[in-house]
């Protein structure tokens, strides 16, 4: 390490000490790694492969317009979060931001909801892997039945492996993650261009085809339901801030990574969606009907139905690698959030399991706990889509809670200190727009629709009838998590002192 690098490391350690924490995690992430982990959490290939059938099957080809709408909305959120992350470079994202900008109770509930949103997202992405891996393995000569049991088994294997990678250190995670991002960016773009140039079977004007929307009798409501695919993709960009304690110069690099991850995912996802829509063979409305009957499985069969076998297998492998590193990034982020909360004494038994290994520099017990919690939803597994709906809705709710705290702080004069990334006079406007966007989307999530928010009775292994069986999955999941959290908080945490104030910034030369 050079003298300059060592000086920067010491500066980061002193900066962290202002928040009352000592440097325990290994500060090993550079500029690219910080971007890569945020990009991997978003992972356009993962979200698209999980809910492509829902978007196209509900809204027809015009569902693609949900992509730019969600990109703009989430970019507004990202700009707001980028500024906050430049002021609070500590592990925990919205939990830490609300802790310093609001009060202990508010920040705890925000972190609690976000923690279980992360856990459910880990599960949702783990069960996305079989969507790609089973067709790939069968194409290579294996004979794996594509049923719930096979999907759960593969998901558990993936979850175990990503838990072990997280245990063995952020440097190893970064190596795997950085490699996977290169695969995803090059693979998604290159193969999409190949589809556009050589396998386009629809006119570009197909994106303006609103046949399915109009046939539904409620075009706008149907479009909002189809929007769930895009909503599931573009979040998690705050991961760059969540890993701030492992990032070099996080006040400068984390905000850049937040914005770069959103923009990069937006471009790559748009290219892929457009290319696959144009590559749909035959009559596109017949294909949409086939999705509803379970006779088509986009985008996998669009790829395998157009490309030569070797190219389709290669494409599926690239997507598998991208989804795998997405699993890894989401679990890493969720572990760091849990680590930040448990370190503050805000999680059950956290003082027992939340210890950083002196050799691996990772919270080994926390890695195992998050892995175990992520396996629980598999007991009631009814497809990746249902888990994704509950996970995404709670993520957006956490973002709203974060935005509310930031907005109140702005009206009271925050920020008072300068930071490398600042919105200046635009901060209040961006904050309000972000809140409007978030609230409109949470209403969308809570709307009781069988297609995007089915009732509890849709879950297997759970015999619920009558009134409770009709309760939508998202509301039921949120209710259980909030009630359990409230019981724990008011029994174990109420009355405990708030976090200490941030120490004054060091003067030059200190």
Nearest-angstrom CA–CA distance, 327 and 155: 10
What is the per-residue pLDDT across 13-71, written as a single tens digit (0 to 9) for each? 888 888 888 888 888 888 888 888 888 888 898 888 888 999 999 999 999 999 999 99
In the prediction, which pLDDT does 389 show? 82
Q: 124 is in which domain, residue-wise?
A: 36-448
- Is residue 114 predicted with pLDDT exceeding 80? yes
Statement: residue 507 has pLDDT above 50: no
Q: Would you mind telling me the total number of residues written for the chain in this entry?
A: 510
**Residue 142 DSSP one-character state:** -
Q: Is the peptide bond before 466 cis (omega within 30 degrees of 0)?
A: no
In a domain, 24, yes or no: no
CATH assignment of the domain containing 383:
1.20.1740.10
Confidence (pLDDT) at 302? 93
CA distances from 324 to 126, 156, 181, 362 (A): 8, 12, 10, 20
Structure confidence by residue, pLDDT tens digits, 386-407: 788 888 999 999 999 999 999 9
Question: 15 in a domain, yes or no?
Answer: no
pLDDT band at 508 (very low <50, low <70, confident <90, very high): very low
Residue 3 within any structural domain of the chain: no
Residues of the chain with pLDDT > 90, as a percent, come to 61
Burial track 314-334 (b if 16+ CB lie within 10 A, e otherwise): ebbbbbbbbbbbbbbbbbbbb
Q: Which tens digits make up the pLDDT trace of 407-427? A: 999 999 999 889 999 999 999
Number of domains in the chain: 1
pLDDT of res. 509: 37
* pLDDT of amino acid 74: 97
Would 306 be classed as within a structural domain? Answer: yes
d(CA 496, CA 391): 30
Is position 27 within any domain?
Answer: no
340, 90 contact by CB (below 8 A): yes
| Mean pLDDT for the stretch of residues 113-134 | 93
Highest mean pLDDT among 27-31, 36-40, 122-126, 181-185 belongs to 122-126
Mean pLDDT, the chain, rounded, equals 89
pLDDT of residue 349 exceeding 60: yes
Question: Is residue 328 in some structural domain?
Answer: yes
Could you tell me where the beta strands, DSSP code E, fall in 200-276? none
109 in a domain, yes or no?
yes
Nearest to 115 by CA among 456, 362, 481, 439: 481
Q: Are 250 and 12 in contact (CB under 8 A)?
A: yes
**CA nearest 123: which of 397, 384, 481, 335?**
384
Within a domain: 205: yes
């Amino acid at each position: 390490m050079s003298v300059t690098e060592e000086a920067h490391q010491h500066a980061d350690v002193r900066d962290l000490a202002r928040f009352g924490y000592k440097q325990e995690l290994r500060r090993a992430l550079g500029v690219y790694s910080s971007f890569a982990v945020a990009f991997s959490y978003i992972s356009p290939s993962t979200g698209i492969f999980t809910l492509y059938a829902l978007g196209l099957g509900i809204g027809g080809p015009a569902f693609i317009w949900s992509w730019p709408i969600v990109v703009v909305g989430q970019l507004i959120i990202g700009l707001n979060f980028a500024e906050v992350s430049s002021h609070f470079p500590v592990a925990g994202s919205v939990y830490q931001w609300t802790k310093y900008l609001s009060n202990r109770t508010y920040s705890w509930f925000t972190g609690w909801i976000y923690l279980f949103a992360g856990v459910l997202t880990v599960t949702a992405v783990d069960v996305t892997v079989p969507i790609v891996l089973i067709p790939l393995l069968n194409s290579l000569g294996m004979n794996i039945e594509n049923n719930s049991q096979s999907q759960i088994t593969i998901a558990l294997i993936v979850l175990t492996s990503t838990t072990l990678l997280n245990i063995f250190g952020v440097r190893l995670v970064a190596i795997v993650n950085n490699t996977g991002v290169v695969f995803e960016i090059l693979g998604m773009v290159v193969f999409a261009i190949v589809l556009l140039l050589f396998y386009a079977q629809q006119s570009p004007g197909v994106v303006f085809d609103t046949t399915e929307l109009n046939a539904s009798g409620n075009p706008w409501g149907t479009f909002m339901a189809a929007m769930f695919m895009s909503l599931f993709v573009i979040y998690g960009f705050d991961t760059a801030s969540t890993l701030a304690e492992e990032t070099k110069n996080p006040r400068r690099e984390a905000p850049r990574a937040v914005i770069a991850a959103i923009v990069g995912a937006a471009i790559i996802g748009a290219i892929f969606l457009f290319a696959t829509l144009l590559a749909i063979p035959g009559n596109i409305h017949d294909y949409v009907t086939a999705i509803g009957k379970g006779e088509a499985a986009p985008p996998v069969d669009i790829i395998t139905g157009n490309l030569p076998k070797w190219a389709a297998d290669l494409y599926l492998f690239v997507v598998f690698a991208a989804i795998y590193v997405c699993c890894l990034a989401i679990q890493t982020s969720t572990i760091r959030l849990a680590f930040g909360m448990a370190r503050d004494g805000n999680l059950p038994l956290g003082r027992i399991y939340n210890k950083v290994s002196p050799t691996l520099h990772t919270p080994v017990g926390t890695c195992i706990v998050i892995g175990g919690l992520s396996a629980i939803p598999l007991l009631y597994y009814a497809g990746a889509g249902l888990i994704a709906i509950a996970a995404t809705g709670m993520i957006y709710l956490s973002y709203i809670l974060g935005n509310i705290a930031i907005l109140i702080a702005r009206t009271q004069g925050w920020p008072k200190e300068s930071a490398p990334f600042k919105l200046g006079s635009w901060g209040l406007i961006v904050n309000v727009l972000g809140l409007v966007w978030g609230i409109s989307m949470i209403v969308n999530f809570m709307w009781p629709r069988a297609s995007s928010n089915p009732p509890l009775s849709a879950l297997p292994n759970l015999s619920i009838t009558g009134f409770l069986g009709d309760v939508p999955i998202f509301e039921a999941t949120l209710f259980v998590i909030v009630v359990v959290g409230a019981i724990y908080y008011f029994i174990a945490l109420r009355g405990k002192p708030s976090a200490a104030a941030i120490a004054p910034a060091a003067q030059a030369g200190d």
